[in-house]
Amino acid sequence: MILRFMLLSLIPLAALIASGATADCHYKFPKKINPRRVRLCSSQLPQWGNHPEVEASLPALHNSSLFCSTKSVVLNFFSLVNVSIDLHSRSDVLRIERSCDLVISVTNGLTFYKTFHSIKNKPLVLAYPSNKSDVLLTWSDKLRWKQWMIGIGLGHYVAKSIDLSAPAFPFILKATLSEGDDGSKGIVFVVQDQQELQSRLTYFKENNITRYFGEEALTGMGRLHGVVYLSAFKGRLLSVQCYLYKFRDLEDPVGARQRLDRSVFLSGVGGSADGPKPRPTVYRVNYEEGDLATTLRKVAKKAQFSGVMCIKFKMNPFGRIVFLGFEPSWCRDLQRIDTVFMEAYLPLAFYTQAYIRRRLRNTDSNSAFSERLQRIVDGSHVWFDDKSIQQLAAGYSLSSKKNKAMTADLPSISLFDLSFS
């Protein structure tokens, strides 16, 4: 459907990003964790050996100003826990549950899948898709992701395919490498004519790239692209945030007007191939909940998704949103902006722990599993029972009074009329 955005703030988020920046910032793991804060752990594959581990001391986390800056709001609610554990050991899985209130991914979906898919006894505090369809593996390959979207009835949210034997120029040419494959970043071209197409196909052949495809050029947003951040737990959508990123048009440096009907622009790319990449201006926007939120609820439910995900999107010439892929990873502004992180991860922490408490109520109190659940509850009850933190987390939900009141007060602005200076 055509989406109409509502401007949340005329103040670019770049100001918020700059306010959190700290030179030589490095997180100091506390000797004693404050029980009023969520104990946060992150997962990765180690650089050595064959044993997947949980490791909180990653640069993406402890060198981020979200955690190492004393001005960060996040520090009032979260503490990083420095643990390194062999997940194939049952006793170490239990140690994770004693040490962590929430385990998240700060890598890409494929690495997260490799870390946990073969582990039968997963930590109960892990934010990981709970279905058996290997959705993280499917989403890591853009072509398989498109087929998955079509299979769940959302094919109109993916770019239309282009017949390479008779293409309409310009169009987008992509290699279908999975996340983590060498060269998987940046194998995307805008193809303007037949000569350029032959040049790109020759490049693929010379580099033994055999899986590639063409897609329609998405020209409905000019040099803007959008990003949605969402959190979900066991298929239930918890929160949604939507942002617009604006890059200046090199042919119109003043940026007086976006050429929304003509510009073919690759998401996330600014400047020329040889020149500097200008930093975009970022705007937070709201959306008509009935369209986008309903679609994202369906995605979360079909995937039985647990965790946080970012979704880049463009628009076609008719103003319809087209998703570019699902990234269940530690995305750009989750690392840099307090409000983005809080809105994504605080509801996730609450729903993870609420689920554990429901299981405890329905479990034989004399069983070993009940003891396991009770240990998790005992370790998290101080912050979980805090009414002010509960209200803050609830305020981020789509159905909250705060969210609805905010939406009602915002002016409606058609994306086709956007002309930010």
Inform me whether the pLDDT recorded for 5 exceeds 60.
Answer: no
pLDDT at 63: 80
Q: Are residues 189 and 314 in the same domain?
A: no
Q: Are residues 20 and 54 in the same domain?
A: yes
- Split into its structural domains, the chain has a count of 2
Structural domain range at position 211: 160-216
Within 10 angstroms of residue 361's Cβ, the number of other Cβ atoms is: 9
Q: Are residues 72 and 10 in the same domain?
A: yes
Higher pLDDT, 51 or 286: 286
pLDDT at 289: 54
Q: Are residues 65 and 205 in the same domain?
A: no
Q: Are residues 251 and 366 in the same domain?
A: yes
Burial of 274 (0-12, 13-18, 19+ CB in 10 A): exposed
Higher pLDDT, 298 or 52: 298
Chain-centre distance of CA 97, in angstroms? 24
Burial of 143 (0-12, 13-18, 19+ CB in 10 A): middle
At 186, the amino acid letter reads: G
Q: Are residues 332 and 374 in the same domain?
A: yes
Q: Is 106:341 a contact under the CB 8 Å cutoff?
A: no
Where residue 106 falls among pLDDT bands split at 50, 70, 90? confident
Task: Give the β-pairing of 307-315 and 224-233.
Answer: antiparallel
Inform me whether the pLDDT recorded for 255 exceeds 70.
Answer: no
Q: Are residues 227 and 86 in the same domain?
A: yes
Q: Are residues 406 and 391 in the same domain?
A: yes
Q: Are residues 151 and 166 in the same domain?
A: no
pLDDT at 405: 55
The residue out of 216, 245, 260 marking a domain boundary is: 216
Average pLDDT over residues 188-193: 88
Inform me whether the pLDDT recorded for 219 exceeds 90.
Answer: no
- State pLDDT tens for residues 355-394: 999 999 999 999 999 999 999 999 999 999 999 999 999 9
The residue out of 199, 216, 233 marking a domain boundary is: 216
Q: Are residues 29 and 84 in the same domain?
A: yes
Q: Are residues 236 and 332 in the same domain?
A: yes
Report the range of poorest mean pLDDT among 20-29, 48-57, 134-143: 48-57
Higher pLDDT, 125 or 248: 125
Q: Are residues 249 and 227 in the same domain?
A: yes
